[in-house]
Amino acid sequence: MNYWLMKSEPDAYSWDRLVSDGRGHWDGVRNAQASANMKAMRVGDRAFFYHSNIGKEIVGVMEIAREYYPDHTDQTGRWGMVDVVPLMPVKQPVTLAQIKVDPRLDGIALVRQSRLSVMPISAAHWAILCGMAGVEA
């Protein structure tokens, strides 16, 4: 299993909306590296739902439910998307500020590549972040 962190602005698509929908398309990604990360996702992989811009915190855990396929919002046919399902909210949101000061999270892509919207998370960092969030790794 692989682990990921996926960012969404909560005023565009929030954790609560995903929970309400029960399943969502992770569409609209227009960055080559983020797209390549989504191409590497497999059904059953886990991902953190991260509220960007407003909040800047991990708020939930999702599972990849459908692998990369054409993005219905892209008229060029160049970009794709994945489907996700919510698994659980975190018990304690994990903020970007907390992540930046924790030496165990040195090198995490969220800090190194702060503008990247879809990024891999190592198994070690996944376990640390789950512990901080109060959820089972």
CA dihedral for 103, 107, 111, 117, sign (positive or negative): negative
For residue 104, what is the DSSP state? Answer: G
- Which residue in 132, 133, 136, 137 sits closest to 102, CA to CA? 132
- Which residue in 14, 110, 9, 111 sits closest to 62, CA to CA? 14
Tokens standing for residue 109: 């892509």
What 3-state DSSP class applies to 28? Answer: coil
pTM higher than 0.85 for the full model? yes
Domains of the chain listed by start with CATH number = 3-133 (3.10.590.10)
Question: How much is the pLDDT for 27?
Answer: 96
Write the pLDDT tens digit of every residue in 29-84. 999 999 999 999 999 999 999 999 999 999 999 999 999 999 999 999 999 999 99
Q: What percent of the chain has pLDDT over 90?
A: 97
